[in-house]
Amino acid sequence: MGVRPPSSERMAEYANERLDRLLGRLYTLWVVAIIFGALNLRLEKVQAGGFEFTLKDPDVVQGVLFLVCLLHYVAIVALMIMFASQYRFPNRHISRRAIFAALGTRTTLLNRSRAQIIAVKKIAKAVYAAAALFMFVVLFLPLVHILVFQREQLLKGLFLVF
């Protein structure tokens, strides 16, 4: 049975760069769709490739933009699964950074009592959990907004496409 190799710095940087670009596009489309709906911009005719389309409901454009946002989520999840299935990603350096953040000005655990070390570990776990929660919110805020508050426009865009 083969063993997955550890992730290389180059591959991790490439995956992070790609994830950042996808997330940037996702937020751009999400904000454009929100502005589109907030300003009540109404498109009735769309011309593309020499063809002219007449839209029955102007909210369809906002729904299509939200649908494209959901497709970006599919791409983000696929990228994360692909990277996780090909490489082992050790979190040792992430844990080390959390411990150094919890230590404050000192950079070592030497000459500390057991209670102080346990306190540093608890603070490090809290820092790690806060960072993970922040990344979770940043990643899934548009998705929650679309699925909870903009469901009608999303369904109109789905019915137009399918």
C-beta neighbour count of 60 within 10 angstroms: 20
- Asked, for residue 3, whether it belongs to a domain, the answer is no
pLDDT of the residue at 4: 61
pLDDT tens for each residue of 136-153: 999 999 999 999 999 999
Chain-centre distance for alpha carbon 57:
30
Q: Is the pLDDT of residue 1 over 70?
A: no
- Among 80, 60, 68, residue whose Cα is nearest residue 143: 68
* pLDDT grade for 103, boundaries at 50, 70 and 90: confident
| Count: domains in the chain | 1
Written in H, E and C, the secondary structure of 77-93 is HHHHHHHHHHCECCCHH
Chain-centre distance for alpha carbon 92:
22
**Which letter, b or e, does each residue of 113-131 get, where b requires 16 or more Cβ atoms within 10 Å of its Cβ?**
eeeeeeebeebbeebbeee
pTM above 0.85, yes or no: no
Q: Are 29 and 72 in contact (CB under 8 A)?
A: yes
pLDDT of the residue at 122: 94
The CA-atom distances, in angstroms, between 69 and each of 28, 55, 75, 82, 159 are 9, 21, 10, 20, 16
pLDDT of the residue at 88: 66
Q: Is the pLDDT of residue 124 over 80?
A: yes
- Asked, for residue 1, whether it belongs to a domain, the answer is no
For residue 60, give its domain range: 9-161
β partners of residue 45: 54
pLDDT of the residue at 9: 73
- Mean per-residue pLDDT, 37-57: 79
- Asked, for residue 2, whether it belongs to a domain, the answer is no
- Mean per-residue pLDDT, 76-97: 79
pLDDT of the residue at 90: 61
Question: How far apart are the C-alpha atoms of 56 and 62, rounded to whole Å?
Answer: 13
The chain-wide mean pLDDT, for the chain, equals: 86
- Asked, for residue 59, whether it belongs to a domain, the answer is yes
- Asked, for residue 131, whether it belongs to a domain, the answer is yes
